């Protein structure tokens, strides 16, 4: 049934996302199955078959074609959505760049999953971090409620004519995609008035106004295309804040801050993580606080554009940051660590940044992992020059 008033339902992350996409009244959904993304598009297919969503599902023959069809649909002016994971994300990789460079307001869900070989269906953030430099605006939700909320906001951000960049919402496979929790959903009327008119998306392909999309430019023109994307990305921060604040006024759930901070105000040590493991970091903070330790947790809910001002604000006053990465840059270190470490240099922060790699390949990350690292770092077992690998409570 269509959602006539605000309602709380127990939903998986994937079904919460499917409801958000339905309520956003998307036009076209090109999709290809891959675990653990599949139950999103299955649910959307069900919504379409049951007449709850008036949209076209294109059951393409590959993820490469899923993003290609999304490019065609969005370029023609339709509100367009797709979802993928892991190898599917890598298979569509080329077209993820086409979508960004063509400034198409596509919204996608990236249910994070390890990359093989060997085959592994569990959560790992290696896949979503390959999008880091593409020009996609990227969120990382820590639970099903955030997945729902950010998906609604994603359409508004992507379709802003001054931004016009694709937006991806990531969350952890299985931890978030397949576990259920209470999710508060807006009424259809609320979503309708929150989102812009989808027919305001300016089509790039329109026989009334014939344009050629993607002709060979000279090098400096191409440089400027990338520079203009950078500028739109940078300026999108203000709009993402504004949308997050409007959403806060509507729901009481704060997204205007861009980072999700927990007891960071007077914290001397700040844990940084993303996605589902942030929930464990928050539990660890409570446990450590109970012992009188001044720690806090910051989840980087927005990965791109990087919310520098908010992050600096959180780090202000802290003397130690411990960054937990569920993705590894081989020969360099934890991917999330490199995201934080450059701030210390650029802004001359008197702060130690520690690089901890956890949870690769879906290995469970628990509150005690945060507590153990905190203790050992405090006791000087590690310095901030090394990459620390923690697997199941043991250093490896």
Partner 1 sequence: MSKPKLVSIIGEQEYYYPGHAACQGCGASIGLRHLLKAIGPNSILAVPAGCTSIIAGRANLSTFGIPFIHTAFASASAVASGIVEALDRLGKKDVNVVVWAGDGGTYDIGFASLSGAAERGHNILYVLDDNEAYMNTGIQRSGATPRGAWTTTTIKGKKEGKKDIIDIMLAHNIPYLATASVAYPLDFHRKVKKALSIKGFKFIHLMAPCPPGWRFDMNLTVEVARKAVLSGVWILMEIENGRLKLNPPSNTMLEKRRLPVEEYIKMQGRFRYLKGELLEEFKRDVEMNWERVKKILAEQSR
Binding mask 268-307 for partner 1 (x = CB under 8 A): ----------------------------------------
Binding of partner 1 at residue 30 (CB under 8 A)? yes
Q: How many CB atoms lie within 10 A of CB 162?
A: 10
Q: How many CB atoms lie within 10 A of CB 120?
A: 15
Give me the least distance between CB of 316 and partner 1, in Å please.
Answer: 44
The smaller minimum CB distance to partner 1, of residues 202 and 375, is found at 202
DSSP string, 47-91: HHHTTS---EEEE-SSHHHHHHHHHHHHHTT--BEEEE-HHHHHH
User: How many residues would you count in the chain?
Assistant: 396
Give me the least distance between CB of 32 and partner 1, in Å please.
Answer: 10
Total residues binding partner 1 (CB under 8 A): 45
CB of 170 closer than 8 Å to CB of 139: yes
The smaller minimum CB distance to partner 1, of residues 72 and 256, is found at 72
- Angle formed by the axes of helices 219-251 and 93-101, nearest 10°: 90
Window of 210-218, 247-255, 331-339, 354-362 that interacts with partner 1 by CB under 8 A = 210-218
Binding of partner 1 at residue 226 (CB under 8 A)? no
C-alpha to C-alpha distance for 300 and 288, rounded to whole angstroms? 21
Binding mask 39-68 for partner 1 (x = CB under 8 A): ----------------xx-xxxxx-xxx-x
The smaller minimum CB distance to partner 1, of residues 211 and 347, is found at 211
Tokens linked to 316 = 């202000």
C-alpha to C-alpha distance for 55 and 357, rounded to whole angstroms? 41
Q: Which helix (DSSP H) or strand (DSSP E) does residue 388 occupy?
A: strand 387-391
Binding mask 321-350 for partner 1 (x = CB under 8 A): ------------------------------
Window of 196-204, 253-261, 273-281, 367-375 that interacts with partner 1 by CB under 8 A = 196-204
Give the distance, in angstroms, between the CA of residue 10 and the centroid of all CA atoms in the same chain: 22
- Contact residues: partner 1, CB under 8 A: 27-28, 30, 55-56, 58-62, 64-66, 68-78, 80, 94-95, 98, 199, 203-207, 209-218, 221
């Amino acid at each position: 049934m269509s959602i006539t008033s605000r309602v709380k339902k127990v939903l998986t992350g994937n079904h919460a996302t499917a409801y958000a996409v339905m309520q956003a009244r998307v036009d076209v959904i090109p999709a290809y199955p891959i675990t653990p993304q599949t139950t999103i598009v299955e649910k959307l297919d069900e919504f379409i078959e049951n007449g709850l969503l008036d949209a076209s599902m294109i059951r393409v023959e590959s993820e490469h074609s899923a993003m290609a069809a999304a490019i065609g649909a969005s370029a023609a002016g339709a509100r367009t959505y797709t979802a993928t994971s892991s190898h599917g994300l890598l298979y569509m990789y080329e077209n993820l760049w086409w979508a960004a460079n063509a400034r198409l307001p596509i919204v996608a869900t990236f249910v994070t999953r390890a990359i093989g070989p060997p085959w592994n269906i569990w959560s790992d953030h290696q896949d979503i971090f390959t999008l880091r430099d593409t020009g996609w605006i990227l969120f990382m939700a820590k639970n099903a409620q955030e997945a729902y909320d950010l998906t609604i906001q994603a359409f508004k951000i992507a379709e802003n004519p001054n931004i016009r960049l694709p937006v991806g919402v990531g969350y952890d496979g299985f931890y978030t995609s397949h576990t259920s929790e209470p999710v508060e959903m807006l009424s259809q009327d609320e979503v309708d008035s929150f989102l812009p008119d989808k027919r305001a998306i300016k089509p790039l392909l329109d026989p009334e106004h014939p344009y050629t999309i993607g002709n060979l430019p000279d090098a400096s023109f191409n440089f400027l295309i990338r520079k203009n994307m950078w500028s739109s990305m940078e300026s999108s921060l203000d709009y993402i804040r504004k949308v997050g604040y409007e959403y806060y006024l509507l729901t009481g759930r704060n997204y205007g801050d861009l980072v999700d901070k927990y007891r960071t105000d007077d914290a001397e040590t700040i844990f940084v993580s993303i996605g589902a493991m942030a929930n464990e970091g928050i539990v660890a903070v409570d446990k450590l606080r109970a012992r009188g330790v001044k720690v806090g947790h910051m989840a980087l809910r927005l990965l791109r554009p990087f919310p520098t001002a908010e992050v600096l604000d959180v780090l202000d006053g802290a003397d130690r940051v411990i960054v937990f990465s569920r993705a590894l840059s081989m020969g360099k270190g934890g991917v999330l660590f490199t995201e934080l470490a450059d701030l210390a240099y650029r802004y001359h922060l008197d702060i130690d940044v520690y690089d901890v790699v956890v949870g690769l390949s879906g290995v469970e990350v628990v509150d005690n992992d945060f507590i153990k690292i905190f203790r050992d770092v405090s006791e000087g077992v590690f310095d901030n020059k090394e990459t620390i690998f923690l697997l199941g409570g043991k250093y490896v």
